[in-house]
Structure 1
Amino acid sequence: MRAAADSVRAQIIAILHAWGMPGDLATETAEVMVETDLAGVDSHGIGMLPSYEKMRRDGQVRLDARPHVVRETGAVALVDGGAGLGHPAAAFAMRLAIAKAKLNGVGAVAVRNSHHFGAAGWYAKLATAEGCVGLVTSGTRTMAMVPTRGAMPVLGTNPIAFAAPAGRHPPVSLDMATTTAAANKVRAHALRGKPIPPGWVLDGAGRPVTEGAAAVAQVFESPEGGLSPLGGIAEMASHKGYGLALMAHVLGATLSGGSFSPIRVRTQGPSDPDNIGHFMLALDPAAFRPAGEFEHDLDAAIEVLHATPPADPALPVLVPGEPEVAEREARLADGIPVPPKLVQDIRDIAGRAGAPFLLAPASA
């Protein structure tokens, strides 16, 4: 099915509301998830509902939790997510960071006691809507990354996102896992029957795993092997990706008191929260330069990049964020692709929750 974006949004809200999430929190969470699907990041949108249902069933997540500030001084703050889904906590934290940046030039807000928050890039772009530069990092629940020279996963995919506002052009935006591919991207490929590109997933001996079901099992079930660091299997390149992952963990989790999964799982019970940490940084360019100069210069840099002669005339040089903008336009027109198994999963989840099944084709 190529589902209409409005029907995907309504479906997510209906299920979250049936699970007991207050309307405003459900609406914000659905907005993050739908925009993620529209951008083509199928691993972090409506496809996360089966995982969230399991977290709810296990008693790990408090869907009625409201984030709140527990420590604050000047340009910085610490937010407690209340063991809720990460979307409301991360959005609250970035909005607070933006407000602080408008007053101080910079705002830095860390989050503890949260869960999965979807795509980091959504929160970075939240800053650009207010004329700020945004930087986001996060810890993760899953131990998926095999460190350089390692044989078993220790770190998570620990994302990093960055966005900066331009003037004539859309914001420059980057959203990346610090693994070669995000763990849920492997699951999304398998769900759609696609082979896993060599180098994304490694077995315990460092050999590529390319069959979908085997790769998912390797990442989510096996004590050995997992995802390669950003840069693949070449030692020098992978060591840099490994270092980026550790940096993202330090900012996204250690700074806030969020958990480090290999330590947390030693004592974590089935219903204990994951205590994921996030980090939100907002910078106001007007605190550094006269208003408009930053955006003017970024426009000029973007235009130089666009004017670079392409190696293939059919593939012009792009700026980070542009593929997602194009994908969003296409999916708004043609619908969000939802594979048959996920359609059935959503139908089943809605039935168990007592929520209506609302997914509808874009052409309907």
Structure 2
Amino acid sequence: MKMDEFPRIPAERVHEQILSILLAWGMRDDLAQTSARVMVDTDLSGVDSHGLSMLMDYNKSRLAGKLNLAARPHVVRDRGVTALVDADAGLGHAAAVMGMELAIEKAKEHGVGMVLVRNSHHFGAAGHYVRLAAAQGLIGLCMSSTRTINTVPTRGRTAVLGTNPLAFAAPARANGPFVLDMATSSAASNKVKVYELRGKPIPAGWVVDEHAQTVTDASRAMEILFTRPKHIGGGLTPLGSSIETSSHKGYGLSMMVHILAGTLSGASFSPVRVRTQRPEDPDNLGHFFCAVDPSAFREEDEFLADMDTVIDTLRGSPAADPELPVLVPGDPEAASREQRARLGIPVPPSLIEKIRAVSEQAGVPFLLTPAQA
């Protein structure tokens, strides 16, 4: 079944479904509202790997006792332009929103704000948080350490690193913001999950087996990434890799992200954590948020005008295919938000059944019926 053939669920109904489940699990109302809002915005943006489809994973962490469902993120250090937030072992969305909003507040006062979060869990798509800064006329930067070991380092045979994502956004005046949201592996591991849910093969070069041979079967790739012991080998390739080569730069970029988001915040390092933590121990992920006020360096209108020039120049360059215009980072997600807000969020039938099971287990009504129903 193709994407355009999947049942479409109104965004409001997806939000209500997620919120009802989070509240049934015992999350505080305001934090559950924030988490549901971020997850739905992620699905609206077309990042299907990090929104609704994460509920099964969060449920698994909840049942293992990892998540503090009564969490209350709080500031533990504040030194003018910098701060450190403790997520209290809760889901990462609310702590991440708090971190970026605090960085924005500091940037408006000092020109720049940098906030780290520790003791967190998965926070969804990094792009959501940098768009918060761009909406305030600021430049935003976000990075995160990751829980799962799934990426093979340069010249390595077994996975040691996570996907360690980063996102960057800059506002413009006439155009929408420039928004880059990327993993530092060839693809995010949850994108492999989306391909499996859709019953489609993954692109060659994303995942290799223990013999460094490319894997395109999504189910087999999921087994390599999530099921079988890591010492067997195989995993995602670093950013910039091909079937023939492994990228040292992508590997180094992944380590940079972990150092800034994980090591600097006091969060755990996945290869060490998996050897020492108990199944019920929190993931202790770290997030990095930075906001910059362009007016600290030049007139704000001049910066925004120059951003329009940059974006217009890129979009105006010759297209390889006249039917496919040149894209600027952020364009596909903006187009997806417009379409999905109007038509509903496409949800694979296999995912609908998984959410039905989670809803039944939580004791809440199942709400993901198609838009036309």
Shorter chain as denominator, the TM-score bin is over 0.9
Letter in structure 2 aligned against 1:290: E
Contact kept in structure 1, 2:204 and 2:243, CA below 8 Å: no
Question: Residue 154 of structure 2 corresponds to which residue in structure 1?
Answer: 148
1:60 is aligned to 66
Task: Provide the rounded CA distance (Å) in 2 between the counterparts of 1:346 and 1:236.
Answer: 39
Read off the aligned partner of 1:318 and give its amino acid letter.
L
Q: CA deviation at 1:235?
A: 7.3
* Residue in structure 2 matched with residue 85 of structure 1 by the alignment: 91
| Distance apart, 1:233 and its partner CA | 3.2
1:144–1:154 contact (8 Å) kept in structure 2: yes
Pick aligned residue for 1:269 from 267, 278, 287: 278
1:56-109: CA deviations, max 9, x gaps? 000001122011000110100010000000001110000000000001100000
Q: Paired residue for 1:332?
A: 341
Distance 2:168 2:333 in 1: 14
- Of residues 82, 103, 108, the one that matches 1:102 is 108
Cα distance in 2 for partners of 1:293, 1:26 equals: 39
Say yes or no: does 1:210 pair with 2:206.
no
Say if 2:131 and 2:179, in contact at 8 Å, map to a contact too.
Answer: yes
Structure 1 residue 242 displacement after superposition:
0.7
| SS, match of residue 275 in structure 2 | coil
Contact 1:4 1:362 in 2 (8 A): yes
Q: How does 1:160-309 map to 2 (within 5 A)?
A: 160-222=166-228, 223=230, 224-233=233-242, 238-309=247-318
2:359 is aligned with what amino acid?
Answer: A
Q: Following the alignment from structure 2 to structure 1, what is the Cα–Cα distance between the partners of residues 193 and 316?
A: 37
Would the alpha carbon gap of residues 267 and 100 (structure 1) be closer, same or farther in structure 2, given more than 3 Å must change? same
- Where does structure 1 lack aligned partners over 5 or more consecutive residues? none
Rounded to whole Å, the distance in 2 between the matches of 1:348 and 1:234 is: 38
Contact 2:167 2:179 in 1 (8 A): yes
Q: Secondary structure at the match of 2:187?
A: coil
CA deviation vs aligned residue, 1:253-275 (integer Å, no higher than 9, x gap): 01100110111111100100010
Listed one character per residue, the Cα deviations across residues 259-307 of structure 1 (whole Å, up to 9, x for unaligned) are: 1011111110010001000000000111111131111110011111111
Whether contact under 8 Å (1:36, 1:122) holds in the other structure is: yes
CA contact (8 A) 1:199 1:208 kept: yes
Q: Are positions 1:75 and 2:81 aligned together?
A: yes
CA distance in 1, matches of 2:30, 2:105: 20
SS in 2 for 1:43: coil
Indicate the SS of the match to 2:300: coil
Q: 1:2-47 deviations in whole A, cap 9, x for unaligned?
A: 1111100000000000001111111110111111111111100100
The answer to whether the Cα contact below 8 Å between 2:213 and 2:243 also exists between their aligned partners in 1 is no
Which residue of structure 2 aligns with residue 50 of structure 1? 56
Aligned residues: 364
Q: Aligned match of 1:322 in 331, 349, 352?
A: 331
- Matched letter for residue 328 of structure 2: V
Deviations 1:225-258 (A, max 9, x none): 1000011236776111111101110111011001
Matched position secondary structure for 2:167: strand
* 1:306–1:317 Cα contact (<8 Å) kept: yes
SS at match of 1:296: helix
Distance 1:262 1:221 in 2: 16
Partner SS for 1:361: coil
The residue aligned with 2:3 is none
Identity of aligned residues (%): 59
* Deviations, residues 322-351 of structure 1 (Å, cap 9, x unaligned): 011111111112211111121111111111
Partner of 2:369: 360
Q: Which runs of 5+ in 2 are unaligned?
A: 1-6
Moved more, 99-108 or 235-244: 235-244
State yes or no: 1:131 paired with 2:140. Answer: no
> Aligned in 2, Cα 1:245/1:77: closer, same or farther, shift over 3 Å?
same
* AA at the equivalent of 1:44: H
* CA-to-aligned-CA distance 1:125-165 (integer Å, 9 cap, x gap): 11011111000000000001100110000010000100011
Mapped partners of 1:227, 1:330: distance in 2: 31
What RMSD over aligned residues (CA atoms) do the two structures have, in Å?
Answer: 1.1
TM-score (norm 2): 0.96
Distance 1:215-1:236 versus aligned 2 partners, 3 A rule: closer
Counterpart of 2:39? 33
Say which SS state the counterpart of residue 49 (structure 2) adopts: helix
User: What is the TM-score of this pair, normalised by structure 1?
Assistant: 0.98
Cα distance, 1:360 vs structure 2: 2.7
Cα distance in 1 for residues equivalent to 2:102 and 2:254: 25
Q: Please give the secondary structure, in 2, of the residue aligned with 1:292.
A: helix
